[in-house]
């Protein structure tokens, strides 16, 4: 039975300031580095055959800290965060003032709204699930990624499509473990560990 260990990256200043940042590329702040060091103490008790990271700095820096086996970190843009398009870099209040109509549409049609120049949660889930499904389920993977990726994967495997997308709280450096039995049946073996 293989497993997937999903870890959300550590905190950035943009996380701290509650700014929308999907494809923007801030580094970890001091809190984020400390969160990753704390998560290292948990991850070092878990085995993995391969390690993947999103191509964004905050995930890669977290992966470097967690990679106790010193394996080559494979980078993929398939597991980077949702592209928030015109909302990137803005707070909710700024979006409310600058893009009130777009915010209404984004709220009403959240599954398919692509943030004008970005992508939709539906597109994000398709990309994330295709990535997970491409992996050999007989191996164990450490995947350092983002809230959106983890929540779309959990929603896909443990509810219906995107129905549970907003129902998971994954803290920075929270660890989620999905195990697959001999029939590739997913089992949630750990949730938001250490987060």
SS3 letters across the chain? CCEEEEEECCCEHHHHCCECCCCCCCCECHHHHHHHHHHHHHHCCCCCCEEEEECCHHHHHHHHHHCCCCCCEEEEHHHCCCCCHHHCCCEHHHHHHHCHHHHHHHHHCCCCCCCCCCCCHHHHHHHHHHHHHCCCCCCEEEEEECHHHHHHHHHHHHCCCCCCHHHCCCCCCCEEEEEECCCCCEEEEEEEECC
What are the residue numbers of the active site? 9, 81
Once rounded to an integer, what is the mean pLDDT over residues 67-73? 98
User: Do the bridges between strand 3-8 and strand 73-76 make them parallel or antiparallel, or are there none, so unpaired?
Assistant: unpaired
Tokens of residue 13, six digits: 């200043």
Tokens of residue 117, six digits: 């120049």
Give the angle 163-169-172 at the CA atoms, nearest 5°.
Answer: 135
Which domains, from first to last, does the chain contain? 3-18+28-81+120-193 (3.40.50.1240)
Once rounded to an integer, what is the mean pLDDT over residues 22-49? 97
User: Do the bridges between strand 140-145 and strand 186-193 make them parallel or antiparallel, or are there none, so unpaired?
Assistant: unpaired
- Convert the pLDDT of each residue in 165-182 to its tens digit: 999 999 999 999 999 987
Whether the pLDDT of residue 183 is over 90: the answer is no
- Convert the pLDDT of each residue in 77-135 to its tens digit: 999 999 999 999 999 999 999 999 999 999 999 999 999 889 999 999 999 999 999 99
Query: What per-residue confidence (pLDDT) applies to 160?
Result: 83
Query: What per-residue confidence (pLDDT) applies to 43?
Result: 97
Confidence category of residue 137, pLDDT binned at 50, 70, 90: confident
């Amino acid at each position: 039975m293989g497993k997937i260990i999903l870890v959300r990256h550590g905190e950035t200043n943009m996380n701290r300031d509650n700014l929308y940042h999907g494809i923007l590329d801030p580094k970890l702040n001091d809190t984020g580095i400390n969160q990753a060091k704390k998560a290292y103490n948990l991850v070092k008790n878990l085995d993995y055959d391969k390690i993947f990271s999103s191509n964004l700095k905050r995930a890669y820096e977290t992966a470097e800290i967690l990679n106790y086996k010193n394996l080559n970190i494979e980078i993929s843009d398939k597991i980077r965060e949702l592209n928030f398009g015109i909302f990137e870099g803005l707070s909710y209040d700024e979006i409310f003032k600058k893009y009130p109509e777009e915010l209404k549409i984004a709220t009403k049609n959240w599954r398919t709204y692509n943030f004008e120049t970005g992508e939709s949660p539906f597109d994000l889930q398709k990309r994330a699930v295709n990535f997970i499904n491409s992996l050999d389920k007989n191996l164990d993977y450490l995947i350092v990624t983002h809230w959106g990726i983890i929540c779309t994967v959990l929603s896909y495997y443990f509810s219906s499509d995107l129905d549970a997308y907003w129902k998971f709280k994954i803290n920075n450096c929270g660890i989620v473990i999905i195990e697959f039995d001999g029939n590739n049946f997913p089992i949630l073996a750990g949730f938001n560990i250490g987060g």
